Amino acid sequence: MARFSRARAIRQRTWLAIGVILSVLLCDQVIKVAVKTNMCLHEARQVTEWFYIYFTENQGMAFGMDFIGTMALSIFRIIAVSAFAWLLVKVIRGRYPVGLVVCMSLIVSGAAGNIFDNCFYGLIFDASTPTEVAHFVPFGTGYADFLTGHVVDMFYFPLIDASWPQWVPMVGGEHFVFFSAVFNFADAAISCGAVALLFFYHRYIQS
């Protein structure tokens, strides 16, 4: 009876992880394709005073950070997400809280969503430019090779757009934007999963 209950719990956790991963991947790719095929590069559309849809691309780091080559970064990300997927399997099979399964699934799905861009967007789209939207092209005839496509970012929340007071040393009078990062749905999934993991399940990380 105990073995049956354990097998049932593993199945339920497995389907939960699959559901979270597929949902995040679907939402992420639908948003990215819609932005890429309807907006020019660096085009911004205001939703509210503190929220814009701003289309930009990067090599694959979260929140638009770039500092190494796209292919090297893509390979690193594939290795990293494989390691997290392996940990997710261990969590599913172990006696861990369901919330931990959700957190790990968010991180895996978010990383996988950006890896998909790196792997395939350069093969299936022509290049986005400041004057032209991208279009689907025959597979392999796009703007980049396998593993060198760019990740699509679009969410921009300039919560505070102001200038430093003149009396502030060194930066007085200079313009600044609080939270100027541009990110996508996959980045949000990674961040939410990681923050929840650190706040609520940190003892499992340490064990």
Give the tens place of pLDDT for each residue, 34-47. 999 999 999 999 99
129-175 pLDDT, tens digit per residue, is 999 999 999 999 999 999 999 999 999 998 766 566 666 676 666 65
State residue 63's pLDDT score. Answer: 47
139-145, long-range: CB within 8 Å, 24+ apart, which pairs? 144/70
Q: Is residue 28 flagged as an active site residue?
A: no
State residue 194's pLDDT score. Answer: 94
Catalytic residue among 28, 117, 126, 187: 187
Catalytic residue among 28, 66, 153, 161: 153
**Burial of 187 per CB tally in 10 Å (0-12, 13-18, 19+):** buried
The pTM for the full model equals 0.86
State residue 120's pLDDT score. Answer: 96
Question: In the structure encoding, which two tokens stand for residue 117, read together?
Answer: 């861009």
Question: In the structure encoding, which two tokens stand for residue 111, read together?
Answer: 């990383």
The four Cα atoms 143, 33, 53, 157 give a dihedral, to 10 degrees, of -90
State residue 64's pLDDT score. Answer: 47
Q: Is residue 187 flagged as an active site residue?
A: yes
Comparing CA positions, the residue from 185, 181, 53 lying closest to residue 114 is: 185
State residue 159's pLDDT score. Answer: 74
Over the Cα atoms of the chain, what is R_g? 20
State residue 173's pLDDT score. Answer: 62
Segments in the chain below pLDDT 70: 1-4, 60-70, 160-168, 170-179, 205-207
Comparing CA positions, the residue from 114, 107, 110 lying closest to residue 198 is: 107
Sequence letter at residue 200: F
State residue 94's pLDDT score. Answer: 87
State residue 106's pLDDT score. Answer: 97
Residue 51, beta-bridge partner list: 48
